Amino acid sequence: MTDTVDLSSAEPIMRIDEATGNKIFSFERNGETLEFIIGSSPEGTDVWQRVPYEADDYGSVADYRTDFDHADPAYNPSAPEVWKELREGGCPVAHSDRYGGMWVPLTNDTVNEIAYDTDNFTSRSVVVSVGRPGDRALPAPIGGAPPITSDPPFHNIARRLLLPAFAPKMIEPWEPEIQRLCQKLLDEMGDIAPGESVIDAAVQYAQNIPVNVIGRMLGFPEKDEELFRQFVHDVLERIAEEPGTREGTDDLGLYIQQQIAEHRENPRDDLTSYLMNVELDGNKLDDEVVAGMVILLLVAGIDTTWSAIGSSLWHLAQHPEDHQRLLDDPEVMTFALEEFLRAYAPVTMARLVAKDNDFHGCPMKKDDWVLLPFPAANRDPKKFEDPDSFIVDREENRHAAFGLGIHRCLGSNLARLELKVAIEEFIKRFPRFELAGDVRWSVGQIRGPRELPVRILEVAE
Ligand code: HEM
| One-character DSSP codes across 107-140 | SHHHHHHHHH-TTTEE-S--S--SEEE-TTTTTT
**Ligand 1 pocket test: which of 213, 409, 413 has the largest number of ligand atoms within 8 Å of its C-beta?**
409
pLDDT score at 1: 29
Q: Residues near 261 by Cβ (< 8 Å), separated by ≥ 6?
A: 1
**CA–CA separation, 136 and 75 (whole Å):** 33
Residue 384 in contact with residue 332, Cβ under 8 Å? no
Closest CA to 308 of 402, 377, 231: 402
Torsion of Cα atoms, 112 then 117 then 121 then 125, to 10°: 70
Domains and CATH numbers, the chain: 13-458 (1.10.630.10)
pLDDT score at 4: 31
Q: Is the CB of 443 under 6 A from ligand 1?
A: no
CA of 21 relative to ligand 1 center, distance in Å: 38
**CA–CA separation, 430 and 12 (whole Å):** 49
Q: Is the CB of 145 under 6 A from ligand 1?
A: no
CA of 401 relative to ligand 1 center, distance in Å: 9
Q: Residues near 447 by Cβ (< 8 Å), separated by ≥ 6?
A: 76, 79, 307, 311, 344, 345, 346, 347, 348, 375, 441
CA of 402 relative to ligand 1 center, distance in Å: 6
CA of 223 relative to ligand 1 center, distance in Å: 25
CA of 461 relative to ligand 1 center, distance in Å: 37
CA of 156 relative to ligand 1 center, distance in Å: 15
What's the burial of 159, exposed, middle or buried (CB within 10 Å: 0-12/13-18/19+)? middle
DSSP label of 223:
G
- Torsions phi, psi for 456 (to 5 deg): -85, 125
Q: Which helix (H) or strand (E) holds 349?
A: strand 349-353
**CA–CA separation, 423 and 430 (whole Å):** 10
Specify the ligand 1 atom closest to the Cα of 372: 15
**CA–CA separation, 348 and 68 (whole Å):** 14
pLDDT score at 222: 87
pLDDT tens digits in sequence order for the chain, 461 residues long: 233 333 334 445 667 777 666 656 565 545 656 555 555 444 444 456 677 788 888 999 999 999 999 999 999 999 999 999 999 999 999 999 999 999 999 999 999 999 999 999 999 889 898 878 765 555 555 666 788 988 888 888 889 989 999 999 999 999 999 999 999 999 999 999 999 999 999 999 999 999 999 999 999 998 888 888 888 777 666 666 655 554 455 677 788 889 999 999 999 999 999 999 988 777 888 887 788 888 889 888 899 999 999 999 999 999 999 999 999 999 999 999 999 999 999 999 999 999 999 999 999 999 999 999 999 999 999 999 999 999 999 999 999 999 999 999 999 999 999 999 999 999 999 999 999 999 999 999 999 999 999 999 999 97
Q: Is the CB of 178 under 6 A from ligand 1?
A: no
pLDDT score at 252: 77
> Hey, whose CA ends up nearest to atom 15 of ligand 1?
407
DSSP H stretches of helix in 117-222: 154-162, 168-171, 175-187, 208-218
Instruction: Tell me the CA end-to-end span of the chain in Å, nearest whole number.
Output: 48
Specify the ligand 1 atom closest to the Cα of 345: 5
**CA–CA separation, 199 and 453 (whole Å):** 6
Q: Residues near 279 by Cβ (< 8 Å), separated by ≥ 6?
A: none
pLDDT score at 18: 72
> Hey, whose CA ends up nearest to atom 41 of ligand 1?
407
Q: Is the CB of 456 under 6 A from ligand 1?
A: no
pLDDT score at 456: 98
CA of 398 relative to ligand 1 center, distance in Å: 16
3-state DSSP assignment of residue 312: helix
Distance of CA 101 to the CA centre of its chain: 22
Q: Is the CB of 295 under 6 A from ligand 1?
A: no
3-state DSSP assignment of residue 231: helix
